Amino acid sequence: MGYLEFVNGESQLALEYYKEAAKYDSRNPKTYVNIGNLYAMMGESKIAIDNYSKALVLDTTDGIAFYNRANEKMIFR
């Protein structure tokens, strides 16, 4: 549902769905990457970085999480 809302331009609603998904399956790193992506789009770099970091705790090989976190760290400086 989160992805569908995102595609339809409903970022805030997509964020709510992804947060709900994280409550039910807190071990899925892709959920945290998607939450991070939405916060990054909203200009909330610190929160985005935190979510990318959560994803990396769950999957230390997630290249997208590494890349996106590095980009947000450059912005957040």
pLDDT value at residue 11: 81
Supply 46's token pair: 């610190």
Rounded Cα distance, 28 and 75, in Å: 26
Domains in the chain, ordered, with CATH?
2-76 (1.25.40.10)
Q: 6-31: per-residue pLDDT in tens?
A: 766 778 889 999 999 999 999 999 99
pLDDT value at residue 76: 81
| Portion of the chain with pLDDT greater than 70, in percent | 94
pLDDT value at residue 1: 75
Residue 4 pLDDT class (50, 70, 90 cuts):
low
Rounded Cα distance, 69 and 13, in Å: 23
pLDDT for 71 beyond 80: yes
